[in-house]
């Protein structure tokens, strides 16, 4: 009987094949067996002609080997597309996804939901209905969406699909091995009918087909566009849960770079996190998990880490974290990933990579712009420092520090800071061109993340240019007067051994005794400059004038003044000091920046504004602003090129002389104020050899100064002065009468009697009552 059943089954199979019907082989075997049984038992049912869906195993039924088949379309007729049937027959255990990344969401399921070949009893005996029902009852149940994904759900997934690879069960046909992986997961944890499965299968360690499976709920996907669920790994035999209840923003399989691996990007408490999952010796490893984003490159990955260090505040020694990222490149290795090698370059070595043909004017202009960028150290109050690197053989990079930027109060900081940025360019056949691929951003760039702490520590190394300014060296090698002054400061406040000291000593007030101005503090490597306290040491000892000053240099002006140069804070970058009544006096406090012109006169700009500078004579121990008087246009014609200058001025205002004001200064300067509906601007011309030479121009206007005045005590803050109440009142009145821009003291007299110095000589006093408005000393200066 058994032999006859088998013979009948073979005859039926031949009939089906010759008629062009090619169902799934497993399905065919079961149906052939049933047909043979029916034939010999005298039953009339045409088992071979029944609907394929009726013969198929219900959703979720598995074979003894654990193989699960998907049924997505639900049609189940013999009229299924030939292509789909062929695809189903071609799915084998050895199927491997190809290409550099495997993308899901393209193929549709076939009609056939087949049983496994192993469903045939080994002895050839017929299975009983009871055994079939028992197997169905114990088999893992496949959620409904894994058998057929609805259009609305797939549309929601398609909006995210660019960040994902793999097969979406219920939409893409799974192979036997993929079904086995899915079954292994479902055998450990039961998922609801609204669960989806995304699977990436490959030979991750070259041994067998393994899978990373993402089981996620469709409700968050359709409602908020979020993919949240569990990540599993299947090693070919069993499944293991890797991540539970995670929000996934990307899941990418990468092949073609050594053994395949998977990039997983997630979101935790609103922050991005990324990691790489690899398989070695059938064990999963999670690598580079502190990254924010990971991108595949031709030979590895580029990891983008959070930029913890972006803007540095030198006054409080703190970094301001920003929502930026910095890249680090890794190469794929047999053991996982290793940082790409790098080497430091000089500016000239970096520029040697720049390619620009002599005949290509645009490329040449671009190259010249880069040269200017790297070799120009300062721009107004900002100083630039660059570090250059070669990363591997195909990339070059640089890090830039902009020190001295004054950040407005609307951003929470109102003082000078250091801002870091980076740029990485890919080389084209070893050359950098304008068309080369380049990425850039803000933050402290470390070419090697493993060495970032060393890189930060190296910033604190004091540059060689400050070697002579080390505090211990100044105490040993400086002149006796400086050494004594520093010793007095250290009695008041302690400083560490690696502190820096800058000092200038002279007899600033002409009383025969020297005074010292000093800046002492720490070198701040992240900011790139010292941050110092400003001191004055005179007859009454050491006095602290200013704390935490972002320091550039200490400069002596003339014989009576000292200038502390720094980085702009609230519009002030420089502080000017003199000495009166044996105490330090800060002068022109409303001025923020000072420079000497070619004639040795002091130019001062109002703090925090776009305006023309004021000009001051410092040739004596006085600070006197030059008088300005308005003149007529025709007076320009007395100069050799006066006619041409006047024409150029009139041309700027449309020949409307009412928009022009011309001022003549005592220092041979001609200032022209111009205005129109959009604003005002000025031009300053210097008289040289009876010709007018343009020396300055800008926004704002030059203020008229009718009378000269000494401003030695203007806005003075003297901590050790002995000014009488009458003198103080007189100074206050003069300050109130000062001009808006400079606040210079007028011709009202303030006479201070001289004081005896320790050697018996009378110190010179400042006489503000001189006929020409300048201050004159009451006796000969003591050198």
Query: If you average pLDDT over every residue of the chain, what do you get?
Result: 77
| Residue 423 confidence (pLDDT) above 60 | yes
Between CA 237 and CA 245, with CA 242 as vertex, the angle to 5 degrees is 130
Q: What is the pLDDT of residue 440?
A: 94
Q: What is the pLDDT of residue 782?
A: 30
| Residue 632 confidence (pLDDT) above 80 | yes
| Residue 82 confidence (pLDDT) above 60 | no
- Across the range 127-143, mean pLDDT stands at 60
| Residue 744 confidence (pLDDT) above 70 | no
3-state SS assignment for residue 579: strand
CA neighbor of 144 nearest in space, from 58, 229, 59, 57 = 59
3-state SS assignment for residue 666: coil
d(CA 499, CA 504): 17
- Across the range 512-522, mean pLDDT stands at 95
Place of tokens 């990079």: 397
| Integer angstrom CA distances of residue 618 from 16, 46, 626, 627, 676 | 113, 119, 11, 14, 35
Q: Pick the most confident of 25-34, 37-46, 79-88, 338-347.
A: 338-347
Residue that wins the pLDDT comparison between 68 and 150: 150
User: What is the band of 81 on the pLDDT scale with cuts at 50, 70, 90?
Assistant: very low
Give one word for 222, left, alpha or beta, with left for phi > 0 and alpha for psi -120 to 50: alpha
User: What is the band of 127 on the pLDDT scale with cuts at 50, 70, 90?
Assistant: very low
* H-helix or E-strand spanning residue 539: none
Residue that wins the pLDDT comparison between 745 and 437: 437
Q: What is the pLDDT of residue 726?
A: 29
d(CA 454, CA 649): 58
Q: Note the pLDDT tens digit of each residue in 175-215.
A: 999 999 999 999 999 999 999 999 999 999 877 899 999 99
Q: What is the pLDDT of residue 382?
A: 86
Which residues, at least 6 apart from 635, have a Cβ–Cβ distance to it below 8 Å? 662, 664
Which residues, at least 6 apart from 718, have a Cβ–Cβ distance to it below 8 Å? 580, 581, 583, 584, 585
| Residue 84 confidence (pLDDT) above 90 | no
Kindly list the domain boundaries of the chain, sorted by start residue. 59-68+85-296, 305-459, 469-626+708-719, 628-699
Residue 771: exposed, middle, or buried by beta-carbon count in 10 A (0-12, 13-18, 19+)?
A: exposed
| Residue 385 confidence (pLDDT) above 90 | yes
Q: What is the pLDDT of residue 174?
A: 94
For residues 550 and 588, the answer to whether their CB atoms sit within 8 Å is: no
Angle between helices 2-18 and 25-40 (to 10 degrees): 130
d(CA 165, CA 168): 9
Q: What is the pLDDT of residue 69?
A: 40
* H-helix or E-strand spanning residue 18: helix 2-18
Q: What is the pLDDT of residue 410?
A: 53
Q: What is the pLDDT of residue 705?
A: 79
Question: Is the pTM here over 0.85, yes or no?
Answer: no
- Across the range 636-659, mean pLDDT stands at 92
- Across the range 653-661, mean pLDDT stands at 90
Q: What is the pLDDT of residue 455?
A: 86
| Residue 1 confidence (pLDDT) above 70 | no
Q: What is the pLDDT of residue 30?
A: 54
Q: Note the pLDDT tens digit of each residue in 3-24.
A: 445 444 444 444 444 444 444 4
For residues 574 and 592, the answer to whether their CB atoms sit within 8 Å is: yes
| Residue 639 confidence (pLDDT) above 60 | yes
| Residue 774 confidence (pLDDT) above 70 | no
For residues 303 and 294, the answer to whether their CB atoms sit within 8 Å is: yes
- Across the range 157-184, mean pLDDT stands at 95
The pair of three-digit structure tokens given for residue 399, joined into one six-digit string: 């890090």
Q: Note the pLDDT tens digit of each residue in 427-485.
A: 999 999 989 999 999 999 999 988 888 888 888 899 999 999 999 899 888 899 999 99
- Across the range 759-768, mean pLDDT stands at 32
d(CA 212, CA 279): 10
Q: Note the pLDDT tens digit of each residue in 530-584.
A: 999 999 999 999 999 999 999 999 999 988 999 999 998 888 899 999 999 889 9
- Percent residues over pLDDT 90 in the chain: 54
Q: What is the pLDDT of residue 356?
A: 80
Q: Pick the most confident of 472-476, 637-641, 730-734, 745-749.
A: 637-641
Q: What is the pLDDT of residue 296?
A: 94
- Across the range 747-761, mean pLDDT stands at 29
User: What is the band of 378 on the pLDDT scale with cuts at 50, 70, 90?
Assistant: confident
Q: What is the pLDDT of residue 507?
A: 94
| Residue 52 confidence (pLDDT) above 70 | no
Residue that wins the pLDDT comparison between 405 and 111: 405
3-state SS assignment for residue 773: coil
- Across the range 210-234, mean pLDDT stands at 95
């Amino acid at each position: 009987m058994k032999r006859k059943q088998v013979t009948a089954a073979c005859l039926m199979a031949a009939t089906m094949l010759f008629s062009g019907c090619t169902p799934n082989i497993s399905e065919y075997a079961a149906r052939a067996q049933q047909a043979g049984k029916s034939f010999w038992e005298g039953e009339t049912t045409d088992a071979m002609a029944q609907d394929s869906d009726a013969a198929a195993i219900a959703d979720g039924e598995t074979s003894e080997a654990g193989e699960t088949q998907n049924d997505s379309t639900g049609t189940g007729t013999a009229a299924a597309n030939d292509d789909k049937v062929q695809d189903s027959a071609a799915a084998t255990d050895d199927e491997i996804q190809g290409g550099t990344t495997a993308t899901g969401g393209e193929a549709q399921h076939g009609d056939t939901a087949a049983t496994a070949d192993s469903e045939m009893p080994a002895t050839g005996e017929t299975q009983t209905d009871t055994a079939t029902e028992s197997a169905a009852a114990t088999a893992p149940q496949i959620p409904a969406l894994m058998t057929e994904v609805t259009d609305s759900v797939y549309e929601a997934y398609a909006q995210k699909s660019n960040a994902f690879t793999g097969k979406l069960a219920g939409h893409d046909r799974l192979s036997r091995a993929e079904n086995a992986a899915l079954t292994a997961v479902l055998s450990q944890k039961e998922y609801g009918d609204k669960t989806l499965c995304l699977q990436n299968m490959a030979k991750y360690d070259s041994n067998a087909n393994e899978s990373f499976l993402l089981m996620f709920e469709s409700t968050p996907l359709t409602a908020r566009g979020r993919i949240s669920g569990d990540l599993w790994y299947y090693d070919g035999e069993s499944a293991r849960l890797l991540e539970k209840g995670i929000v996934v923003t990307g899941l990418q399989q990468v092949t073609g770079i050594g053994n395949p691996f998977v990039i997983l990007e997630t979101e935790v408490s609103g922050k991005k996190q990324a990691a790489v999952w690899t398989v070695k010796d059938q064990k999963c490893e999670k690598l580079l998990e502190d990254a924010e984003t990971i991108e595949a490159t031709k030979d590895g990955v580029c990891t983008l880490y959070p930029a913890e260090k972006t803007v540095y505040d030198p006054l409080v020694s703190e970094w301001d974290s920003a929502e930026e990222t910095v890249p680090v490149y890794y190469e794929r290795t047999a053991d996982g990933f290793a940082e790409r090698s790098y080497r430091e370059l000089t500016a000239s070595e970096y520029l040697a990579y720049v390619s620009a043909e002599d005949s290509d004017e645009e490329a040449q202009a671009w190259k010249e712009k880069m040269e200017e960028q790297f070799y120009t150290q300062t721009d107004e109050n900002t100083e630039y420092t660059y570090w250059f690197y070669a990363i591997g053989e195909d990339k070059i990079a640089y890090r830039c520090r902009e020190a001295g930027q004054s950040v407005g109060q609307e951003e929470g900081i109102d003082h000078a800071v250091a801002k870091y940025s980076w740029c990485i360019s890919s080389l084209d056949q070893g050359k950098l061109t304008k068309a080369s691929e380049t990425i850039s951003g803000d933050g402290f760039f470390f070419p090697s993340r493993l060495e970032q702490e060393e890189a930060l520590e190296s910033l604190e190394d004091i540059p060689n240019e400050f070697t002579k300014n080390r505090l211990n060296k100044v105490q040993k090698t400086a002149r006796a007067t400086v050494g004594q002054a520093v010793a007095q400061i250290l009695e008041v406040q302690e400083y560490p051994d690696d502190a820096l000291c800058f000092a200038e000593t002279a007899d600033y007030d002409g009383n025969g005794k020297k005074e010292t101005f000093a800046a002492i503090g720490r070198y701040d490597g992240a900011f790139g400059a010292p941050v110092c306290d400003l001191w004055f040491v005179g007859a009454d000892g050491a006095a602290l004038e200013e704390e935490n000053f972002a320091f550039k240099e200490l400069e002596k002006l003339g014989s009576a003044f000292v200038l502390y140069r720094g980085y702009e804070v609230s519009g002030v970058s420089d502080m000017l000091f003199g000495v009166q009544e044996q105490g330090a006096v800060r002068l022109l406090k409303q001025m923020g920046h000072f420079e000497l012109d070619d004639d040795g006169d002091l130019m001062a700009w109002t703090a925090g504004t776009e305006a023309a500078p004021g000009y001051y004579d410092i040739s004596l121990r006085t600070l006197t602003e030059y008088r300005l008087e308005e003149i007529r246009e025709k007076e320009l014609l007395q100069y050799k090129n006066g006619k041409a200058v006047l024409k150029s001025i009139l041309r700027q205002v449309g020949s409307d002389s009412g928009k022009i004001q011309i001022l003549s200064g005592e220092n041979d300067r001609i200032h022209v104020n111009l205005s129109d509906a959009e604003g005002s601007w000025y031009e300053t011309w210097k008289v040289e050899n009876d010709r007018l030479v343009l020396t300055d121009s800008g926004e704002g206007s030059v203020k008229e100064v009718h009378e000269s005045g000494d401003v030695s005590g203007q806005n003075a803050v003297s901590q050790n002065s002995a000014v009488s109440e009458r003198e103080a009142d007189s100074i206050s009145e003069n300050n109130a009468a000062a001009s808006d821009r400079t606040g210079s003291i007028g011709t009202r007299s303030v006479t201070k009697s001289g004081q005896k110095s320790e050697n018996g000589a009378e110190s010179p006093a400042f006489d503000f009552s001189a006929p020409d408005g300048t201050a004159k000393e009451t006796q000969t200066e003591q050198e």
